[in-house]
Amino acid sequence: MTYAVETIGLSKTFPGGVEALKNLDIQVKEGESLGFLGPNGAGKTTTIQILLNLIKPSKGVVKLFDQNTLGRERELLKNVGALVGMPGYYKSLTPDDILSYVGRVFRMNKSVVRKRSNEVLDLVGLKDARRRKVGTFSTGMKRRMGIAQILVHDPDLIILDEPTNGLDPKGVREVRDLIKEINKEGKTIFMTTHNLNEVDEISSRVIFLNHGEKIGDRDLGELRKQLGSKSIEVKFLRDLTDKETERLAEINHVKDIEVTDSIYLRYEGNGETTYEILRDLVQLGLPINHYRPMTLALEDIYLMLYKEEVTK
Ligand SMILES: Nc1ncnc2c1ncn2[C@@H]1O[C@H](COP(=O)(O)OP(=O)(O)O)[C@@H](O)[C@H]1O
Ligand SMILES: [Mg+2]
């Protein structure tokens, strides 16, 4: 199996002492759509800038398609298309002008560029606007133009930094659908966002970043399966022993348990089931001080991971 992106022990301290990344290990499988999620200042853009060799890490290794990029950045980045911020275009250029320029930069054959331009303009929904000046485009159209531009050389890895930031609801919808489509075509997506719904809709996996550290890494396919099942959050007055925790896992209906600063009992069933679980839990004689049935959703995980931030 190939990792389109892998970082090992990636750290970045900016001059002045801001530790933007601390020992970050991430792996993105080929074909995957990764949502790189975190609040402002978490280190998302810094990570992307390092992947794109726009800034150097203080420590650590970056691999693209299983190859260490050190000293080979140019060559390996040819297989990457990245959109970071809003591309600035001369107002009088048309999509056709821009794409043929990009084709020249990548030293692509003219007829290949023409064919590829047709494909990507079709994909991003700008075929009818191909001879219009981009100065007349809406923000959403410009963002889609930016995406067309990074696809011309047919890269296997697409890196997007907050791709729907600043767009109106219609623009957000179009760009999200477009990203899903690009992933369907087999390209790996590495996308940052601070929007939970965006990840839920687009990504197959989510990595949670906070203060430059990875605080979670979840497969959303598995998570969605669990959405059918439910969980109960339980807290006790003291930490449980391993033996006591095991007894929780043995309660009837409980499928598995997750221990963080609370204990989550995952179960399948209905309201009757939560009553039976509570009854059995009480019979164990453990010092319960909190019992809350909940459905397991991405938001619960988010709140669990970012609890420290939320309660600050
Ligand atoms: N060029 C820089 N010089 C100093 N500090 C920076 C620089 N770029 C980013 N930072 C700091 O690094 C941290 C992470 O920033 P960033 O990667 O932009 O976060 P995000 O994209 O997740 O919002 C922030 O505290 C930010 O202020
Ligand atoms: Mg950012």
Confidence band for 58, pLDDT divided at 50, 70 and 90: very high
Q: Specify the number of domains making up the chain.
A: 2
Q: Which of 36, 17, 51 is nearest to 213 (CA)?
A: 36
Residues with CB under 6 A from ligand 1: 14, 16, 18, 20, 38, 40-46
Confidence band for 309, pLDDT divided at 50, 70 and 90: low
In a domain, 304, yes or no: no
Given 222, 248, 268, the domain boundary residue is: 222
CATH of the domain at 243: 3.30.70.980
Q: What single string gives the DSSP state of each residue in 98-164?
A: HHHHHHHHTT--HHHHHHHHHHHHHHHT-GGGTTS-GGG--HHHHHHHHHHHHHTT--SEEEEESTT
Q: How remote is the CA of residue 192 from the centroid of ligand 2, in Å?
A: 8
In a domain, 310, yes or no: no
For residues 16 and 39, give the distance between their C-alpha atoms in angstroms, rounded to a whole number.
Answer: 22
User: Same structural domain for residues 70 and 32?
Assistant: yes
Closest ligand (CA of 20): 1
Alpha helix stretches (DSSP H) within 191-254 = 196-202, 220-228, 242-249
In a domain, 205, yes or no: yes
* Ligand 1 atom with the shortest distance to the CA of 47: 17
In tens, the pLDDT along 126-136 reads 999 999 999 99
In tens, the pLDDT along 12-39 reads 999 999 999 999 999 999 999 999 999 9
**Tokens linked to 99:** 């794409």
* Ligand 1 atom with the shortest distance to the CA of 38: 22
Domain of 254? 230-295
Q: How remote is the CA of residue 19 from the centroid of ligand 2, in Å?
A: 15
- Ligand 1: which of 37, 46, 208 to mutate, most ligand atoms within 8 Å of CB? 46
